[in-house]
Amino acid sequence: MLAIYKRELRSYFTNMLGCAFSALLLAAAGFFSAQININSAQSRLEYSLYMLVHYCILIIIVPFLTMRSIAEERHQKTEQLLFSLPLPIWKIILAKYFAMLTVCLIPIAVLCFYPIFFSFYGTVNFVGAYASILLLVFLIAAIVAIGMFVSSLFENQIIAVIVTIGLLFVLYFLTYIANSFSSAAVTSLIAFCCVAFIFGIIVFFITKNETAAALCSGLPIVGLIAYYLSNKNVFIGAFAEVVSYLSIFDRYKVTVINGLFDITALVYYITIAAVFVFMTIQSVEKRRWN
Amino acid sequence: MIEVKNLTKKYGNILAVDNISFTIEKGKIYGLLGPNGAGKTTTMNIITGCLAATSGEVLINGHSIIDEPVEAKKYIGYLPEQPPLYADMTPAEYLYFVAEAKSVRADDIPRAVEEVMEETGITDVADRLIKNLSKGYRQRVGIAQAMLGTPEVIILDEPTVGLDPQQIIEIRELIKSLGRDRTVILSSHILPEVSAICDDIIIISHGKIVANGPMREISSSLKSETIMDISVKATEDEVTSVLSSISDITRFEITDTSTDVAGVSVTSAKVHYPTDIDLREIVTFAFSDIRRAIISMTAEESSLEEIFLQLTSDKAAALDEIADSDNEDGEISSHEKLFDGSSDVKDSSESSFATNSADDADDESIYSYNPEDYLATQEKLADYVDADEDSFGSDNNNSDSVNAGDDINDDNAHGKEI
């Protein structure tokens, strides 16, 4: 497992992807920090970090890091080497995941020096600064897991990066989209049914099994309609609420801007990361069964 | 060593491997042979755990590849059809990585990598990027990768595809040397290759095993006929009459007539005869009796292509294929008519004769050469005799390497050149 981790890490720095990623992230963070912390003499690093999310910097650059993780192995046929190694698949995927995470941690480690530098010239809220850096790490961990999962679905890394960015944009704007619908109960029901339907399509794409897909979207839709008929009031504004609750980016905003460290946000990111890593393992495992 | 039991693999509705079972024993080189799409790669992928079977079982040293994949994979080194190489690494780095991933002890890794690099002959390119290496070297790096971790079985999927003839010979030598202390399974759709390297062959067609056993047994059990190509400095009619007079020849056909630089006509023929006799001697004396020089004689050990075609497709289809692809062999079909005794024999097959229709042959064997020409060429021939004998000898040597080549046509081309 360590061998794969080392090889992955190395490859990110031999093909410049890791360097470019670190440079871009640091450049963006540095720019926001210069604008907010220096030019506006605002001591809170949290705001500059939030700008990385707010201006979609993470959404755009992280997928470029994750796009090749699995897709490239498939394209180069090197996955057959990995499959024939005396290693379980989950170890291979975890090694790859942690290698990507390590690449992300390098620029973030540099960010850790910012509060110290600022403290020479004024008062810095260290707890707030480091808590937001910590949360940023876990947010990135969740995004990397999503990107790796998408990469495992495609052989072409360009398609993988486009789909990942698209997916993250949808997640990012989901709250806006959800809020733009009327809060009527029927709208919520339709929205939930659409989600169930999309879930069914995804299941079909992964399993190529019509029955499983029909069950995965059919059962929730039937359940939703039944629940709706029994209790309409629950559905009023429910979709927007659920979406807002589930939005990974909103949680970062709330925690950072309000200055409240929300431990559930941390747990939520870890859960997202775990779910998508697990789905990646399944998706790769499934390739052997098709 | 490896037991494959009732292995079946379906891709959707397509049956790629159909209930096959075989056993691989220690210390032999096995050839998995079959036409393209027969299920060779699928079988190998399943044995190595790269693919899951629809049903059936693979046991490697008693460990099931499905239930105990990690344990089972320790005994196997696999080179897939396309070598799984990371282009942005050097062979040394790559092999170091594979050794680590195969849990070779850290202290042993440098030595193990050094060893496989030496054995596969890639030490010279150890520090060049893999993407800059030639196909042959990449294949070697792939084989080196499979050898790491001292697996007991090395599985190679079409190891010589896409290589030039020199590289093919080198890779074959490498595989033979691997087979000395390890079990090797290789797949190929090239029959002479398998017959040159392997001890045992397993022939797969349409996902089923059609033959399985030692090379010799398979060839002798199926067909005991040898084909020999000969070229003689003589006219077509002379060759025809001499060959017709030899009773050991089952059948023959004239494949080519031409005139050489000196204006002497050269006739090539393909002769079929039972494997248990040495026809070379008989033919040599027969032609020396009429003072005609044999300039090349290339025997194929046995007509493996025919066995292969017999096994992998029904015979009729196989014969059609030969007729389509190959003019010379096309005459086989007209020739078979001759065996049937059909009435148009004399008109259609002037160049084809069978010994058992000797009467027909006699009717037509009226030589129409000019005696003066004959005397003139005879003098020249006398000068050539020594040289011809030499070339005869060297041809025999060549025939081995040519047999290892790709198909009958190569052999012919070779004969003609000389």
Residue B229 has pLDDT above 50, yes or no: yes
CB-neighbour burial class of residue A116 (10 A; exposed 0-12, middle 13-18, buried 19+): exposed
pLDDT digits (tens, 9 = 90+) for A245-258: 788 888 888 777 77
Residue B129 has pLDDT above 90, yes or no: yes
Strand partners, B272: B227, B251
Helices B327-340/B315-325 angle, 10° precision: 130
How big is chain A by its Cα radius of gyration, in Å?
21
Has residue A185 been placed in a domain? Answer: no
Q: Of all helices (H) and strands (E), which one includes residue B185?
A: strand B183-188
- Report the residue from B52, B73, B84 with minimal CB separation from A288: B52
Q: Please, what is the average pLDDT of chain B?
A: 75
For tokens 């530098």, what's the residue? A117
Q: Of all helices (H) and strands (E), which one includes residue B221?
A: helix B215-222
Strand-strand pairing, B183-188 and B225-232: unpaired
Range with lowest mean pLDDT among A57-66, B21-30, B161-170, B355-364: B355-364
Range(s) of the domain holding residue A88:
2-168+261-287
Identify the pLDDT of residue B219: 65
Identify the pLDDT of residue A125: 86
Nearest CA to B352 among B239, B260, B234? B239
Report d(CA A21, CA B406) in Å as an integer: 51
pLDDT digits (tens, 9 = 90+) for B230-274: 889 888 888 888 888 888 888 888 888 888 777 888 888 888 887
How many CB pairs below 8 Å do chains A and B form together? 70
Q: Of all helices (H) and strands (E), which one includes residue B258?
A: strand B251-259
Tell me if the pTM is above 0.90: no
Alpha-carbon torsion (B158, B159, B165, B171), positive or negative: negative
Has residue A218 been placed in a domain? Answer: no
Has residue A230 been placed in a domain? Answer: no
Has residue A7 been placed in a domain? Answer: yes
Nearest CA to B402 among B193, B219, B140? B193
Cα separation values, B395 from B231, B285, B294, B400, B402, Å = 11, 17, 11, 9, 10
Has residue A186 been placed in a domain? Answer: no
Report d(CA A3, CA B93) in Å as an integer: 11
Pairwise CB contact (< 8 Å): A76 & B52: no
pLDDT digits (tens, 9 = 90+) for A95-129: 999 999 999 999 999 999 999 998 888 888 888 88
B5 three-state secondary structure: strand
Report d(CA A230, CA A200) in Å as an integer: 24
- B interface with A, Cβ–Cβ < 8 A, is 11, 45, 48-52, 69-71, 73-74, 76, 78, 80, 82, 84-89, 97-98, 100-103, 145, 149
pLDDT digits (tens, 9 = 90+) for B312-361: 665 444 444 444 444 444 343 333 333 333 333 334 333 333 334 444 43
Pairwise CB contact (< 8 Å): A87 & B80: no
Identify the pLDDT of residue B398: 42
Locate the chain A residue with the closest alpha carbon to B69.
A86
Identify the pLDDT of residue B385: 46
Residue A91 has pLDDT above 90, yes or no: yes
Has residue A254 been placed in a domain? Answer: no
- A interface with B, Cβ–Cβ < 8 A, is 2-4, 6-7, 11, 14-15, 76-88, 288-290
- Report the residue from A6, A78, A87 with minimal CB separation from B86: A78
Highest mean pLDDT among A155-159, A283-287, B11-15: A155-159
Pairwise CB contact (< 8 Å): A288 & B50: yes
Give the list of residues 6+ apart from residue B354 with CB closer than 8 angstroms, or none: B250, B251, B252, B335, B338, B339
Question: Is residue B6 a contact partner of residue B55, using CB atoms and an 8 Å limit?
Answer: yes
- Report the residue from B51, B89, B102 with minimal CB separation from A85: B102
pLDDT class of B395 with cuts at 50, 70, 90: very low
Question: Is residue A46 a contact partner of residue A256, using CB atoms and an 8 Å limit?
Answer: yes
- Report the residue from A4, A15, A79 with minimal CB separation from B88: A15
Identify the pLDDT of residue B369: 42
Identify the pLDDT of residue B331: 40
Alpha-carbon torsion (B302, B303, B305, B307), positive or negative: negative
Identify the pLDDT of residue A158: 94
Question: Which residues in B lie closer than 8 A to residue A6 (C-beta atoms)?
Answer: 97, 100
B250 three-state secondary structure: coil
Question: Which residues in B lie closer than 8 A to residue A3 (C-beta atoms)?
Answer: 97, 100-101
Q: Of all helices (H) and strands (E), which one includes residue B55?
A: strand B55-60
A178-183 contact pairs (CB < 8 A, 24+): A178/A239, A178/A240, A178/A243, A178/A244, A179/A240, A179/A244, A181/A239, A181/A240, A183/A236, A183/A237, A183/A240
How far apart, in Å, do the first and last CA atoms of chain A sit?
26
- Report the residue from B82, B86, B101 with minimal CB separation from A85: B101
| Nearest CA distance, A73 vs chain B (angstrom) | 9
Identify the pLDDT of residue A264: 87
Identify the pLDDT of residue B213: 85
Question: Which residues in A lie closer than 8 A to residue B90 (C-beta atoms)?
Answer: none
Highest mean pLDDT among A108-112, A170-174, B12-16: A108-112
| Nearest CA distance, B37 vs chain A (angstrom) | 17
pLDDT digits (tens, 9 = 90+) for B365-378: 344 444 444 445 55
Question: Is residue B144 a contact partner of residue B120, using CB atoms and an 8 Å limit?
Answer: yes
Identify the pLDDT of residue B270: 87
pLDDT digits (tens, 9 = 90+) for A186-243: 888 888 899 899 989 988 887 778 888 888 888 999 998 898 888 888 888 888 888 8
Strand-strand pairing, B29-33 and B183-188: parallel
Question: Is residue A139 a contact partner of residue A62, using CB atoms and an 8 Å limit?
Answer: no
ipTM rounded to 2 decimals: 0.85
Alpha-carbon torsion (B188, B65, B97, A93), positive or negative: positive
**What's the per-residue H, E or C state across A6-34?**
HHHHHHHHHCCHHHHHHHHHHHHHHHHHH
Strand partners, B270: B229, B253
Question: Which residues in B lie closer than 8 A to residue A2 (C-beta atoms)?
Answer: 100
For tokens 């299941």, what's the residue? A203
Q: Please, what is the average pLDDT of chain A?
A: 89
How many structural domains compose chain A?
Answer: 1
Instruction: Give the amino acid at B72.
Output: A
Locate the chain B residue with the closest alpha carbon to A2.
B101
Q: How many other CB atoms are there within 10 angstroms of residue A182's CB atom?
A: 11
Selected residue of B55, B93, B103 to mutate for chain A interface (largest A Cβ count, 10 A)? B103
DSSP B61-114: TTEETTTSHHHHHTTEEEE-SS----TTS-HHHHHHHHHHHTT--TTTHHHHHH
Strand partners, B187: B32, B157
Has residue A193 been placed in a domain? Answer: no
Strand-strand pairing, B200-205 and B29-33: parallel
pLDDT class of A63 with cuts at 50, 70, 90: very high
Report d(CA A144, CA A272) in Å as an integer: 10
Region A65-93: what's the mean pLDDT?
92
Question: Is residue A133 a contact partner of residue A180, using CB atoms and an 8 Å limit?
Answer: no
- Residues across chain B: 418
- Report the residue from A2, A77, A289 with minimal CB separation from B84: A77
Identify the pLDDT of residue B380: 52
Pairwise CB contact (< 8 Å): A3 & B100: yes
Has residue A39 been placed in a domain? Answer: yes
Residue B290 has pLDDT above 70, yes or no: yes
Identify the pLDDT of residue B224: 61
Identify the pLDDT of residue A134: 92
Identify the pLDDT of residue B44: 92
Task: Please name each of the domains of chain B with its CATH number.
Answer: 2-219 (3.40.50.300), 223-417 (no CATH)
Identify the pLDDT of residue B342: 38
